Chain A
């Protein structure tokens, strides 16, 4: 796609409703995931103090879950972005025809 990018005008894609829809969906996906992760990372520890005896166990679960979330979200985004690129490529090919 990048090689073609050098010769292809972005205008066709920019005007394409399907492309705009894809972009909106991707932006929403990224916004939701990053916001949720930030809120979980920064504010979840504040809730832990109310757990009484389970406080220590959940504190460690929280820490290990950060590792799992980071790896899992990285993988999910990798898959998502790959699918996004394929869809854009299809739109691109249609426009270029």
Chain B
């Protein structure tokens, strides 16, 4: 085991556990546990959103994609960024105004009732778990590399850590782990970029020429079409990325942790600044990796390109810089998995246990106890699923998650907030159609039975989700919905509804 790597790893574990201990003192009520009492400022929440959103797939994966595919790798990253405009313009404020602890609460403002809450919660939990598995699998592989322990032990380490953060620290610990991750990630990336640029004496043309020389793509490296040569696949992926963010429960519930709508807006806006700056830096790192490490070395180390940033760090700063970048990657993973496990926990404990099973007949102490117990259950479930999937290709689950989120939760939220005629039947049919079409297409696609050649189901599943909601609404009898008039005022101003 490399001692430098171990010291960095230990520093992150100890630091985050101290935060959790501090947060545990501030998680004594359900309001504190679920939404940190709405105590975060807009900018703090923006940093937490960036920490929640930038996954290992972004940090390690996109640098690798750019190193391998040049332009197209960077194009992939822009989808994640632009999706925040949809979130800011259409979703963030209404979620803040209507929600209490979960997305189930947001939908219940227009469609109260246990069945609706149960369905929204179930799909939300599935989305979180689907996204959690590839993150945990990646984390297992990374810890194995970092500490030299085997895969299962690595997943246990990360799984237990994330469970501890959520069980003891609730949303306060989750938020601060994510904020610190963002600080580490941004400072680590800036450091790496500056070392790289000083290494090449700020001569961008050298970097450009060297990248073209090292890559087997040559000048084509800077042209579109190296990764996405099939327009239908490209369109499907970009559609899922741009709309999917607005349907991810772990991102949406972050808008409940600020005290007003201005805070929600600043959260989304500052997240775009952080995420945008981060992706611009990964462009430099990706080009730097192929230019300085070389294509052959990159492919030899890992054919998926996930080690590009680490190999670049080795060239630029040796063992110490590699240890630092690995520590950043480790912090990145724990922040994302903690956010995901928290989202699944809050839906299960608040929507399913408190509202559906117990019909709200539970005192504060028991609610909190069950929420913590649920976190343990979700944590262990994710660990077992991830250990069982070591040999599976789980990368497709990331795009599947975005596709399911864009085909189910996103249309539901959009129509709930803005379409007067939308009704309960439309909500059910939209959710179910979007979900089942996504699953069916993946089952028939290259990752399943290989009957279809479509990798990303978004191009069919997302319109199906919208269409299901529209048809379900239009085939049922038009009823007067006084609740919508009230909801419209609430969605835009927060006034009413109490």
A interface residue numbers (CB < 8 A to B): 1-2, 4-6, 8-10, 13-14, 23, 26-27, 30, 33-34, 37-38, 41-42, 45-46, 48, 55-56, 59-60, 63, 66-67, 69-71, 73-75, 77-78, 81-82, 84-85, 88, 92
> Could you jot down 25 A-B contacts, CB within 8 Å?
A2-B259, A2-B261, A4-B495, A5-B497, A10-B486, A10-B497, A13-B493, A14-B486, A26-B492, A27-B418, A34-B86, A34-B89, A41-B79, A48-B224, A56-B223, A63-B71, A66-B82, A69-B85, A70-B81, A70-B82, A74-B85, A77-B89, A77-B269, A85-B262, A88-B492
In the bound complex, what is the Cα–Cα distance between A32 and B182 (angstroms)?
33
Contact of B269 with A59 in the complex, beta carbons under 8 Å:
no
In the bound complex, what is the Cα–Cα distance between A70 and B270 (angstroms)?
11
Contact of B88 with A77 in the complex, beta carbons under 8 Å:
yes
Number of chain B interface residues as a range: 35 or more
In the bound complex, what is the Cα–Cα distance between A84 and B418 (angstroms)?
18
Contact of B84 with A70 in the complex, beta carbons under 8 Å:
yes
Minimum CB–CB distance from A23 to chain B (whole Å) comes to 6
Contact of B78 with A67 in the complex, beta carbons under 8 Å:
yes
Contact of B85 with A37 in the complex, beta carbons under 8 Å:
yes
Q: Return the contact of B224 from the options A2, A34, A45, A74 (Cβ within 8 A).
A: A45
Contact of B86 with A67 in the complex, beta carbons under 8 Å:
no
Question: Given A2-B260, A14-B486, is A71 in contact with B276 using a C-beta cutoff of 8 Å?
Answer: yes
Q: Return the contact of B493 from the options A33, A37, A42, A88 (Cβ within 8 A).
A: A88
Residue B203 CB within 8 A of the other chain: no
Residue B22 CB within 8 A of the other chain: no
Residue B90 CB within 8 A of the other chain: yes
Residue B202 CB within 8 A of the other chain: no
Contact of A63 with B78 in the complex, beta carbons under 8 Å:
yes
Contact of A67 with B494 in the complex, beta carbons under 8 Å:
no
List B contacts of A45 (CB < 8 A).
Answer: 224, 234
User: Which of B173-181, B192-200, B235-243, B471-479 lies at the interface?
Assistant: B235-243
Contact of A67 with B280 in the complex, beta carbons under 8 Å:
yes
Q: Return the contact of B494 from the options A2, A48, A63, A75 (Cβ within 8 A).
A: A2
Minimum CB–CB distance from A75 to chain B (whole Å) comes to 7
Contact of A78 with B85 in the complex, beta carbons under 8 Å:
no
Question: Given A1-B494, A77-B265, is A34 in contact with B280 using a C-beta cutoff of 8 Å?
Answer: no
Contact of B498 with A6 in the complex, beta carbons under 8 Å:
yes
Question: Given A5-B493, A42-B239, A85-B262, is A70 in contact with B223 using a C-beta cutoff of 8 Å?
Answer: no
Which residue in chain B gives the minimum CB-CB distance to A57? B222
Minimum CB–CB distance from A47 to chain B (whole Å) comes to 12
Contact of A82 with B262 in the complex, beta carbons under 8 Å:
yes
Which residue in chain B gives the minimum CB-CB distance to A37? B85
In the bound complex, what is the Cα–Cα distance between A63 and B75 (angstroms)?
7
3 nearest CB pairs, A to B: A10-B496, A10-B489, A74-B269
List B contacts of A37 (CB < 8 A).
Answer: 82, 85-86
Known contacts A13-B489, A34-B85, A77-B89; 13 additional CB pairs below 8 A are A1-B260, A4-B495, A5-B495, A13-B493, A23-B492, A26-B492, A33-B85, A34-B89, A48-B224, A63-B75, A70-B272, A77-B269, A88-B492
Interface of A: prevailing SS:
helix
Minimum CB–CB distance from B173 to chain A (whole Å) comes to 26
Which residue in chain A gives the minimum CB-CB distance to B486? A10
Residue B126 CB within 8 A of the other chain: no
List B contacts of A38 (CB < 8 A).
Answer: 86, 242
Q: Return the contact of A10 from the options B79, B223, B490 (Cβ within 8 A).
A: B490
Which residue in chain A gives the minimum CB-CB distance to B234? A45
In the bound complex, what is the Cα–Cα distance between A27 and B497 (angstroms)?
21
List B contacts of A2 (CB < 8 A).
Answer: 259-261, 494
Minimum CB–CB distance from A79 to chain B (whole Å) comes to 10
> Which one of A26, A33, A63 has the greatest number of beta carbons of chain B within 10 Å?
A63
Contact of B239 with A81 in the complex, beta carbons under 8 Å:
no
Question: Given A10-B496, A85-B261, is A63 in contact with B84 using a C-beta cutoff of 8 Å?
Answer: no
Which residue in chain B gives the minimum CB-CB distance to A19? B489
Residue B229 CB within 8 A of the other chain: no
Minimum CB–CB distance from B282 to chain A (whole Å) comes to 12
List A contacts of B261 (CB < 8 A).
Answer: 2, 81, 85
Question: Given A33-B89, A42-B235, is A67 in contact with B276 using a C-beta cutoff of 8 Å?
Answer: yes
Which residue in chain A gives the minimum CB-CB distance to B259? A2
Contact of A13 with B223 in the complex, beta carbons under 8 Å:
no
In the bound complex, what is the Cα–Cα distance between A88 and B85 (angstroms)?
23
List B contacts of A1 (CB < 8 A).
Answer: 260, 493-495
